[in-house]
Chain A
Amino acid sequence: MLFDYLGLSWHSIRNRKLRSWLTILGVVIGVTAIVTLISIGQGIQDSILSEFEKLGYNTVTVLPGNFDTQRGGFGNASAGSDTYLDRKVVEGLDRVKASGATRTETGLIQSEKLDGQAFLRITGMSQTVLTNFDDYFNGFQIEGGELFSFGEAANEVVIGSGTAEELGVTAGGVIKIEGQEFTVSGVLKSDDESDGGFNFYGDLDSGLFVPFGTMDKLYGGGDKASLLLVEVFEDADVSQVATEIEDAFTAKDIASTTITTEEISNRVNNVLGTIQIALAGIAAISLLVGGIGVMNTMYTAVLERTREIGIMKAVGARNGQVLRLFLIESGLLGLVGGTIGTVVGIVLSLFAGRFIDQALSAPFAPSFRPVLIIGAVGFSFVLGSISGVLPARQASRLQPVEALRYE
């Protein structure tokens, strides 16, 4: 039965091609806007979250100072903070499985090839950062040479590819940090992802990296750290441990801020979710306009086909059947528009995704959740049908005799 009606509806849509396509276009634009905006928004959200999820859900990140994380001030660990953390504080805690520490300073660097001297970011890291939190430095992949040895007292440094270029050294070369000679043990692989994106460590390409202990030799301060990564035992309540860590620092009179992956993902979800709803709302307005277009077309169709309706009634069509016929027809306009709009939206956001991928540091791909695709197509069918309710009712209530007389 339904297929018979579909056939009849499809017939009449095809019969007034231009008007049908223009009406469908109205729906297409609305659906395209919705699919594009939501899939890109969702993609950005996924991309940001995946960056944080690299740290794992049982990791607590500790920053010095009282950041108001409510306002999203977790951007750069070393920025504008002259307080330090004490890495010993977290090591004593019960539910801490492992902890890693980094300390970042601006170092005075000299090399033979370099004309004069440079001030570059130098980061010290504990071995555990690489063993337990290897995603933190994006794998810390060394392309030329090898990693410095943590235990030994030798002055060794690993440098980023950009730094290597700037200083004119390769693995095995020698540079001076704060006047002391260091051997470049390795050069990092150029990191596409690290240029200005969603990570704590900043740009891997332009940094210098030494063992944590070396920082003490260069700058003093012992266990002073500018960022701590704390791995909590799997069965522990991460946010509770985070509070314990803050309390432990407070007891030592050190201001600290903890960030958990869960907290971040909640906040990112909240903020981006709100933005997405706002964008979808705007797109929904264009879809509404599309719906009004369908209604307009259907009213015209009812007028045009008054006589046809009369004929159908004369040969036995009931009011409900005429109603259904017109509802399916308007639903089809919506469905076709929704399907095309979804496809165009997918193509458009894949296209836009390439640019966003370049603009964002993190790898980005628009996210097409099944619920979005099914929802967009389904909703446009419903929208079309709803837009057709009034015209279809008008059609179904026509008196057969009068409808047949209509010229």
Chain B
Amino acid sequence: MGDAMIELTNVKKGYLMGETEVQALRGLDLKIESGEFVAIVGPSGSGKSTLMHIIGALDVPDRGEVLLDGRDISRYGESELAELRGKKVGFVFQTFNLIHTLSSLENVALPLTFQGVGKEEREERAADLLEMVGLGERLKHRPAELSGGEQQRVSIARALVNEPEMLLADEPTGNLDSDTGEDIMELLTSLNRDKGMTVVVVTHNPRDAGYADRTVNMIDGMIRNGRESDGGH
């Protein structure tokens, strides 16, 4: 294992649900090393997604420290967070979150647009990645013309296009049948193993968690002590 990719210390985050404040994270500590494959598991409402959002610089905590590559990002402003999202992290969502008016190629190339990369290079990199995830023949298809598994591959390609240091997947198999889900998990595993990518997967599927090097159990906004376990895939 390498250096700490991300380190959370006493992170707290609350939400207003109507009038009542819900504590999603209640003083959470977590450390993920560079090159690790970590699964975060736990029942719904345990704060998994909130944790994921904070790791992925989509949100900032109310309290506590979030070190990404040694820098505290917990007080970052909007544009600094946007820069992190654009360069350091790649997101894979349960619902794929592809833009349905754009083709696979355009969806994958989209993050590069915001980094000011020229059209030619964007499309070349996007095409390479789509090739890598096995969709070399599907560049011009729109999401609606693709199967769920194919859409998730497009979204993985999109997450990789900025060459991030870390891939975050929030229930990546949640909307897929089990065979397709396994394919996706295999793909994430190979990214971790072959390319050294840090991969963090949020899941409530024990089978998915089995692919990871390490499983982090969450409950009630905390990591359940002693239940961090090494995966055995």
Listed in ascending order, the chain A residues whose CB lies under 8 Å from chain B are 1, 3-5, 8, 11-12, 15, 307-308, 310-321, 399-401, 404
Interface residues of B (CB under 8 A from A): 53, 56, 58-59, 78-79, 82-83, 85-87, 91, 93, 97-99, 101-102, 110-111, 113-116, 119, 158, 162
B171 CB to closest chain A CB (Å) equals 13
| B114 contacts A401, C-beta separation under 8 Å | no
CB <8 Å contact, B101 and A12:
yes
- 3 pairs of A and B residues whose beta carbons are closest in the complex: A316-B86, A315-B111, A318-B82
How far apart are B225's CB and chain A's nearest CB, in angstroms? 28
Q: Considering only CB atoms, which chain B residue lies closest to A405 in the complex?
A: B49
Residue of B nearest to A318 (CB): B82
A-B contact count (CB 8 A): 67
CA distance A228 to B22 in the complex (A): 96
A404 and B83 CA atoms in complex are apart in Å by 18
Task: Write 20 A-B pairs (CB below 8 A) sorted by A numbering.
Answer: A1-B116, A5-B113, A15-B101, A307-B97, A312-B99, A313-B85, A314-B56, A314-B85, A314-B97, A315-B110, A315-B114, A315-B162, A316-B83, A316-B86, A316-B115, A316-B162, A319-B79, A321-B114, A400-B58, A400-B59
Give the most central of A8, A316, A399, A400: most B CB within 10 Å.
A316
**How distant is B211 from chain A, measured CB to nearest CB, in Å?**
23
Instruction: For the complex, give the distance between the alpha carbons of A299 and B122 in Å.
Output: 30
* Nearest opposing residue in chain B for A402, CB measure: B59
- A316 adjacent to B85 (CB under 8 Å): yes
| CB closest chain-A residue, reference B93 | A404
Contacts of B79 in A (CB 8 A): 318-320
Q: Using CB atoms, name the residue of chain B closest to A313.
A: B82
Nearest A-chain residue to B119, judged by Cβ: A4
| CB atoms of B58 and A315 under 8 A apart | no
> Contacts A307-B97, A314-B97, A315-B91; is A401 near B53 (CB within 8 Å)?
yes
Query: Assuming the A-B contacts A11-B102, A307-B97, are A314 and B91 also in contact, with contact meaning beta carbons closer than 8 angstroms in the complex?
Result: yes
Known contacts A8-B113, A312-B114, A400-B85, then 10 further A-B pairs from the complex at CB < 8 Å, ordered by chain A residue = A311-B97, A311-B99, A313-B82, A314-B85, A314-B91, A315-B111, A316-B82, A319-B82, A321-B114, A401-B53
